[in-house]
Amino acid sequence: MEAKDLVLLLMIPILLVGILTFVNNNSITGNVVAEQADNEKLGTYSVMPSFRAKMDYSLKDYSDLKIKLKTAIDKCIDSKQQDIKYCIKTETNKDSYNWNCNEKESDVLYDFTGKLKECINLKNENAVCRFSLDKHGNLNKDSSKNLRIVLTNWYYPRIKAELFENDDILLGTDFIEAGKLFYTDYDNKDKDSKSADYITLKLEFKDGVPSVPQAYAVIGFDFVKLSRAFLIYKSKSGIKFIDEKFEPSFRGPEPANTIIDLPRMQGLKFCAKTGKSVIAYDDADGLVKSREIVYRFAITLPNPVPAPVNSFEAKDNLKSENSALLIWKKDPQSDIKSYSFYYSTNDFIDRKMNDIKKDSEIKKVSVVINSPIEIESVDLSSCEFNPINEPCKYQSYNNPLLKNKLYYIKSENKFVYVLFDADFKDGTDYNVAITAVNDKGEEMDNDKSAADNPYIFEINKNYLWFSSADDLAPAKIINVKKEAGTDGKTKLSWDFPAKNIDGTNLNDIKGFNIYYRKYLVGPFVIASSNVDASFAKKEIKISDAGCSSSSLQCEYVMEELESGQYFITVAAFDDKNNEFRDFAQLI
Amino acid sequence: MRFKLGKKGWLFEGIMFFIILIILTTAFFSLYKKYGQFPDGYKIGDRQFSLITAYQKGEAALFYIDQSAKYSLEQSVYYLAKSGGVSEIEVSDAETFAGHECGKFNDAYVWYQVMKKDGKINTKECFNENSAKDNLGYFFNNNLNEYLLSYPRDIPTGNYKYEFKDNLEIIGLATLPVNINIFKKEVPEDFSTAIRDVKPKPIDVKQLEKDTTKPSEGFRDFTGTDLCAKGSQCVLKEEAFQQLVKAQNAAVKKGISLEVYSAYRSSEKQQALWNGDTPERYAQRYPDPAVRVKYVCNPAGGEAKCPHLSGDVVDVRLKGKTTKTMSSADWNNLYSAMTSADSNKQPLWVKYSNEPWHFECCNTPRYARAIQQGVTSIV
């Protein structure tokens, strides 16, 4: 054998080894199983489809963001700011966070479903949830958009909520664990549950505020109009949409009808970016392209205490004593259950609420706002006694404003509360403050040591100085009689007035004024009973009249009177010289 | 080196040429004789070609899966961030909604709940950043499934156990293989829409017999047939399978066609679900078994608690629809076809009242109760 033959022979094993190596490295990973039966199929080639995929990204972003968020929350809790939402929002907008989210139309849907879920999750049974949608300043400025929220029965027990523009689903679908869709008449709310295929709510925006002008329950081809669907009756069997026109029926005495205003929970949504991008698809534009990764997450917060009142004013309650009219604008905040008034002759504008509450010299009055007396309009600058011995009637309203009652003036969207306190001293300067209180009894803290705390007293917004005037005269004097004494002098007698002119007890009588004029007969004399400048006046003290609340017969000898007939009237006057001067009588 | 052929060489080569020619000619005629006339147009090498084609199809599928995984990873990273690192299971194994503990605020998952109690403010943590990896796996699996369902051939879905490595690598370990049939003669495939039409057609029983296999005694595997949704693994007990065939025939008469997307589930698969070895990660989401059982069936309860273990249960929909796109009318038609009466005037299947897609037959306790009560829908 020559060398060349040897080389050729050696090539054979080298070639075989090469083939084996090639086959192994390119891994024919499958295996073939032959088919035993004699048919078209020879067998099956099986391959395990395992894989490995890589990209340049780290899940550490989540822990980083979480730490930043927790730091912001803790900082705001530690600072004891009452408006924690504002604080966290400010903190998370600092530095390079840029966690703001752009508003989207689907936010309206999530606002709605969020409140609906909160209603469903309430522990209360047989209650009515009432809520309105949040304002979205930048949304839907094009009013021609035809937006609808459609609720449909989905997998039991879920309801699917979707936002439609015309017949297209806008981005936004949410699921609510609510059983089935029901609607009902209010009167049969506990017995009746009419099942709906779907409920559709038409949306309208005005100045960024969404409202629902029309809502329908749809069953097959039938449409049942619900004028507004934001009244939801929560019973043991689930939720039922109720026509708004039944709202007055809810206002029965509690606990028959409990109305719960939502939301009770607040929150903040964040859209954080860390500057990383991926190639991805998004339904928003239907494209696959390079997109920045946006981390969307949220926190929920306890409902903040109601915001401070900023339109507080006080007026004297006309023709009354020891009372004032406290006036402020009705606040749209749904969680306000009552208002508290604090008043004292001492200044407390810079004191914390906790201190104010402990101070016995600062009086507090709480006014629940669930059923104010509604009036169209009232003129608070003038009132009349008609008839006398009844409270003074305010103009336009033609009724008195009763003590310790709350009124709602529709035309001005204002509340008026008639603050009465027997210890309230007319003519004395009082510090008066107002706070809004939620159903948990929480109100502003007036902590001026906390930076940027908006929950504080401010003069002429929710804190003012006020003094009421006593302009209430004693009642009309009756049973005025004149008799000639044995000594030839004329004696007047009358009943001691126990009441004021408005029928309230008279406590501040000081004396009497006796007005008199001789009755003259002649062709040029007008016999007038009007007490005018032609009448002479005699002022006497109570002690001069010899009467009091326990000795009701008053008498006074009028040396000034001669024999003959006189026009005479007696008027009682009080500490502030208020008197009611009636027509004189001829005696 | 130069080779020169001498006279002897020419002679040797000439003889060798004729010998080889004779051998090949003899071999051709021998083979031709052995296989007759190569009926049905077979040619030499057809089978080898089929084998190689099957391998090529397998490689194409693997390449597709690799690319799908790459795209799915980026997509799922994007989706995960959009949902704040949280995932919810819309329809869990127990057919319930496995939601985020603290819910959502304005469509964003809540990471912290700040609460006030007795005047004090507390914070409750709702998101564990370590769960982001598991949730990424869930998103990834859903995304990958969508890709796999778009592949012209049948690739099993929900077929992976995932492992993650930092920055960021995902390894998908398949549990089932991709099976490619090797036919004697490779038939050109047509993936045009006409072939994939969902028009109802009567069942070809002979073809179905060929297309289905019996993996173990009493069971029938009809994965890959028209009755089984693409990407799904469909196995039923023989009796249940025959009931399904009858229901499909009833459906065709109504102008619809059925599609099973979940049937028999092995106890190993159920155990994997319970143990958190699937992308849903039930055990990680709900470490407390008392809570977990609300979302996933505990295989320890056996067929009574987990009816899918029986092989007499199907989750079914109309062909061409998804559970999301099924209308009320579709559900009614499905119900009507599935509960058609058999020759004994008994319903073929009965519906679980709370789930319009879930039907049972044959030997399940629910079916027995329904028959006893004379109803076709029962809780």
The verdict on a CB contact (< 8 Å) between B114 and A41 is no
Residues in chain A with CB shorter than 8 Å from the CB of B112 are: 69-70, 73, 299-300
Phi, psi (rounded to 5 degrees) for A484: -85, 130
Q: By C-alpha distance, which of A248, A568, A308, A291 is closest to A436? A: A308
Residues A172, A110: Cα–Cα separation, whole Å: 8
Q: Looking at CA atoms only, how far is residue B343 from chain A in angstroms?
A: 33
Q: Tell me the two tokens of residue A159.
A: 């309801």
pLDDT at B20: 92
Percent with pLDDT over 90 in chain A: 25
Q: What is the pLDDT of residues A520-568, one digit of tens each?
A: 776 665 566 777 888 888 899 988 988 888 888 999 888 887 777 888 8
The burial of B112, by beta-carbon neighbours within 10 Å (0-12 exposed, 13-18 middle, 19 or more buried), is given as buried
Residues A438, A213: Cα–Cα separation, whole Å: 29
Q: Looking at CA atoms only, how far is residue A318 from chain B in angstroms?
A: 41
The verdict on a CB contact (< 8 Å) between A42 and B184 is yes
Of A47, A156, A197, the CB nearest to B178: A47
Instruction: Give the strand pairing for A127-130 and A258-261.
Output: parallel
pLDDT at B29: 84
Q: Looking at CA atoms only, how far is residue B82 from chain A in angstroms?
A: 5
ipTM given for this complex:
0.81
The verdict on a CB contact (< 8 Å) between B107 and A110 is yes
Q: What is the pLDDT of residues A62-120, one digit of tens each?
A: 999 999 999 999 998 888 777 888 888 888 887 666 788 887 778 888 888 888 888 88
Q: By C-alpha distance, which of A466, A471, A472 is closest to A327? A: A466
Of B121, B166, B173, the CB nearest to A50: B173
Residues B134, B287: Cα–Cα separation, whole Å: 14
The verdict on a CB contact (< 8 Å) between B66 and A51 is yes
Q: By C-alpha distance, which of A298, A270, A284 is closest to A106? A: A284
- Mean of pLDDT values over A346-354: 93
Residues in chain A with CB shorter than 8 Å from the CB of B323 are: 155
Phi-psi region of B291 (alpha: psi -120 to 50; beta: other; left: phi over 0): alpha
Closest CA in chain A for residue B90 = A175
Closest CA in chain A for residue B210 = A39
Residue with tokens 């934001």: A230
Residues B109, A554: Cα–Cα separation, whole Å: 82
Of A28, A49, A269, the CB nearest to B108: A269
CB A336 within 8 A of CB A306: yes
Residues in chain B with CB shorter than 8 Å from the CB of A42 are: 47, 50-51, 182-184
Q: Looking at CA atoms only, how far is residue A230 from chain B in angstroms?
A: 18
A413 CB contacts (<8 Å, ≥6 apart)?
A: A329, A330
Q: Give the residue from B4, B111, B223 with the most A CB atoms within 10 Å of its CB, the best one to mutate.
A: B111
> What pTM, to 2 d.p., does this model score?
0.72
Residues B15, B21: Cα–Cα separation, whole Å: 10
Residues in chain A with CB shorter than 8 Å from the CB of B160 are: 50
With 50 as the cut, is the pLDDT of residue A254 above it?
no
- Exposure string of B304-339, with b = 16+ CB inside 10 Å and e = fewer, is eebbbbbbbbbbbbbbebebeebeeebbebbbebbb
Q: Give the residue from A299, A357, A440 with the most B CB atoms within 10 Å of its CB, the best one to mutate.
A: A299
The verdict on a CB contact (< 8 Å) between A197 and B328 is yes
pLDDT at A182: 80
The verdict on a CB contact (< 8 Å) between A62 and B71 is no
Of A32, A56, A269, the CB nearest to B182: A32
Instruction: Report the residue count for chain A.
Output: 587
Amino acid B230 reads K
Strands (E) across B142-283 are located at 160-165, 169-174, 178-183, 219-221, 235-237, 258-262
With 70 as the cut, is the pLDDT of residue A334 above it?
no
Of A30, A66, A298, the CB nearest to B58: A30
CB B261 within 8 A of CB B232: yes
Closest CA in chain B for residue A268 = B105
Task: Indicate the range of A245-249, A454-458, B325-329 predicted with least confidence.
Answer: A245-249
Instruction: Report the residue count for chain B.
Output: 379
Four-point Cα dihedral A206, A208, A211, A216, nearest 10:
100
Of A175, A297, A299, the CB nearest to B97: A175
pLDDT at B193: 47
Strands (E) across A207-264 are located at 209-219, 222-226, 231-235, 238-242, 258-261
Of B116, B178, B181, the CB nearest to A49: B178
Residues in chain B with CB shorter than 8 Å from the CB of A53 are: 66, 69-70, 72-73, 169-170, 172
pLDDT at A255: 43
Angle at A76 between CA A71 and CA A81, to 5 degrees: 175
Confidence of residue A357 (pLDDT cuts 50, 70, 90): very high
The verdict on a CB contact (< 8 Å) between A298 and B61 is no
Of A39, A62, A101, the CB nearest to B85: A62
Cα–Cα distances in angstroms (integers) from residue A583 to residues A477, A515, A586, in the given order? 11, 10, 10
Q: Is the dihedral of CA A61, A63, A64, A69 positive or negative?
A: positive
The verdict on a CB contact (< 8 Å) between B81 and A155 is no
Q: Looking at CA atoms only, how far is residue A202 from chain B in angstroms?
A: 20
Q: Looking at CA atoms only, how far is residue A343 from chain B in angstroms?
A: 25
B321 CB contacts (<8 Å, ≥6 apart)?
A: B259, B330
The verdict on a CB contact (< 8 Å) between B114 and A197 is no
Q: Looking at CA atoms only, how far is residue B56 from chain A in angstroms?
A: 10
pLDDT in tens, chain B (379 residues): 556 667 888 888 889 999 999 999 998 888 777 665 555 666 677 778 888 888 899 999 999 999 999 999 999 999 999 999 999 887 788 777 788 888 888 889 999 999 887 778 889 999 999 999 999 999 999 999 999 999 988 899 988 999 998 789 999 999 889 988 888 766 666 665 444 455 677 777 777 777 777 666 788 888 888 899 988 989 999 999 999 999 999 999 989 999 999 999 988 889 999 999 888 899 998 999 999 998 898 999 888 888 899 999 999 999 988 877 787 788 889 999 999 988 778 899 999 987 889 999 998 999 999 999 999 998 8
Closest CA in chain B for residue A197 = B328
With 50 as the cut, is the pLDDT of residue A409 above it?
yes
Q: Looking at CA atoms only, how far is residue A131 from chain B in angstroms?
A: 16
Mean of per-residue pLDDT scores for chain A: 82
Please count the residue pairs, one from chain A and one from chain B, whose beta carbons lie less than 8 angstroms apart: 227
Q: Tell me the two tokens of residue B284.
A: 């990680």
Q: By C-alpha distance, which of A298, A297, A301 is closest to A81? A: A301
The verdict on a CB contact (< 8 Å) between A267 and B105 is yes
The burial of B249, by beta-carbon neighbours within 10 Å (0-12 exposed, 13-18 middle, 19 or more buried), is given as middle
Closest CA in chain A for residue B155 = A49
Q: Where are the alpha helices (DSSP H) in A421-579?
A: 542-545
Q: What is the pLDDT of residues A429-447, one digit of tens each?
A: 899 999 999 877 889 989 8
Cis before B365? omega within 30: no
Residues A498, B258: Cα–Cα separation, whole Å: 94
List strands edge to edge, sheet with A168-177.
A168-177, A158-165, A147-153, A198-206, A209-219, A222-226
Q: What is the pLDDT of residues A197-234, one digit of tens each?
A: 888 888 888 777 787 777 888 887 788 877 554 566 66
The verdict on a CB contact (< 8 Å) between B129 and A62 is yes
Strands (E) across A472-552 are located at 481-484, 490-495, 509-518, 536-541
Of A46, A111, A158, the CB nearest to B179: A46
Of A56, A109, A296, the CB nearest to B82: A296
Q: Looking at CA atoms only, how far is residue B199 from chain A in angstroms?
A: 26
Q: Is the dihedral of CA A383, A385, A386, A392 positive or negative?
A: positive
Task: Indicate the range of A49-58, A138-147, A495-504, B77-86 predicted with least confidence.
Answer: A138-147
